[in-house]
Amino acid sequence: MSLRPASASDLLIDGKLTPGTGGVFDVVNPATEEVIGRAADATPDDMDAAIAAARHAFDTTTWSRDAAFRAQCLRQLRDALLAHTDELRESTVAEVGCPVFLTHGPQLEGPINDLGYFADLAESYAWSRDLGEAKPMGIKNTREIRKEAVGVVGAITPWNFPHQINFAKIGPALAAGCTVVLKPAPDTPWCAALVGKVIAEETDFPPGVVNIVTSSDHALGAQLSTDPRVDLVSFTGSTATGKKVMASAAESLKRVFLELGGKSAFLVLDDADLASAVSMAAFAVVTHAGQGCAITTRLVVPREKLAEATALARDSMAGFAAADPTDPGTICGPVISAKQRERVESYIELARTEGGTIEIGGDRPADRDKGFFVSPTLISGLDNSSRTAQEEIFGPVLVILPHDGDDDAIRIANDSPYGLSGAVWGTDRERINKVVDGVRTGTMSVNGGIWYSADVPFGGYKHSGIGREMGVAGFEEYLETKAIAEPV
């Protein structure tokens, strides 16, 4: 079977590959602006059929009670996708615009392999726990706690790391015994649709267990939030949209998992290797054109070293030009669309009006006449209270800010509505630990440490979301707890 996208990819509903009743919509390569194919355009009727299929599969099959079979299917999917890695790599780079080097990690191969982690967890997890005997109200009882699948999961995913986020939802949900309706972003439908083709043709997943509904209509995600047949909505995207998802889900009292925005701080202490720290901060913010919610976009350095750090950051970012994502040496590719480029550029202009200085970048690359490219941009001269320093930009834009000691660095990091990620560089372990303890964030990197892994829970504080994804904690988001008592 070939996974190279044809003229149009299909929906996966109730185990069958089917066209969308709304026709098709264009898939655009963000590096070239060319239409590279089409995807099935689902309507509310298609989404209704997908939800019905997921509900029926959960309510009438043994899927939720057969952990060994679930593990088998997840491993089948992992192995089948790995057999198609080269085809998936080509289509992913073309559709997402991500640098090809990232497909060897979180843009493709990492998430595929993570399915094996959740298969293992389905088999090893303690699905029941004996609480022993007790005498409530003088009556001797044995008690037991059981964990069971939540039910039907609606998964709504964004375009920036589609494979990572799709599998971070459907992997643990399926391992937990749930059935799933996946609604991917309109910008990257193939990353989900091609997985649907593999599920339908190369695995033993029962009909209705996995449903994949691509559409140009964002309202289909809202349909998942309001439909009472859906038990849980797992959403990754902007904080503004996440609030709407939460409000919509409240009507039917369904559970929600929200992984939302970030404006994470990269804190450099005065005893750190400044050149190494600043170089890492520059690398992070230009990777995949800054299109990552956990990317550190505020570089906070000692005030007495601000000029030196600014020069170092400027020089580092000069070496990461926005370029062709198919080139193995490219770190910064295009942003996803013309609309997103306009958003990034509007923030750069805002920085100017707020009194900031564009140290480098702030424009489109002169050697790129096609593609949605933005030059890596460093902004100085702003206060942390500025909108440019407070709001998520989602582009290769780094704001450098001064701090007046460790306590002030912690204050600046926490002076944000978000709390998704962060980083600290230094040499004194006691001071580093104080910073790690003081910053209110879901993940923290120390001196370049990498927390990204299938077994590490990911999520944020404050406006960065509710719940955790990945790891045992992410798996348990898809479980209910049932208590059972029986008299002895």
Active site residue ranges: 259
Three-state DSSP class for 314?
Answer: helix
Q: What is the dihedral of CA 426, 429, 433, 436, to 10 degrees?
A: 30
Three-state DSSP class for 4?
Answer: coil
Complete DSSP assignment for 421-454: -EEEE-S-HHHHHHHHHHS--S--EETT----ST
Buried b (16+ CB within 10 A) or exposed e, 36-56: ebbbbbbbeebbbbbbbbbbb
Q: What is the dihedral of CA 189, 190, 195, 200, to 10 degrees?
A: 90
Helix axes 190-202, 67-83, angle to 10 degrees: 120
H/E element, 176: helix 162-176
CB 24 within 8 A of CB 217: no
Of 29, 78, 171, nearest to 458 by C-alpha is 171
Furthest CA-CA distance within the chain: 81
Number of Cβ within a 10 Å radius of residue 396: 30
CB 399 within 8 A of CB 388: yes
Q: In whole angstroms, how far apart are CA 145 and each of 125, 182, 443, 484?
A: 13, 30, 31, 6
Structure tokens at 192: 């989900």
Q: In whole angstroms, how far apart are CA 247 and each of 233, 252, 308, 393, 427?
A: 12, 10, 47, 24, 45
Instruction: Return d(Cα 374, Cα 323) in angstroms, integer.
Output: 10
Count each helix (H run) and each strand (E run) in the chain, helices first: 15, 23
Torsional class of 222: left (φ above 0), alpha (ψ -120 to 50), beta (otherwise): alpha
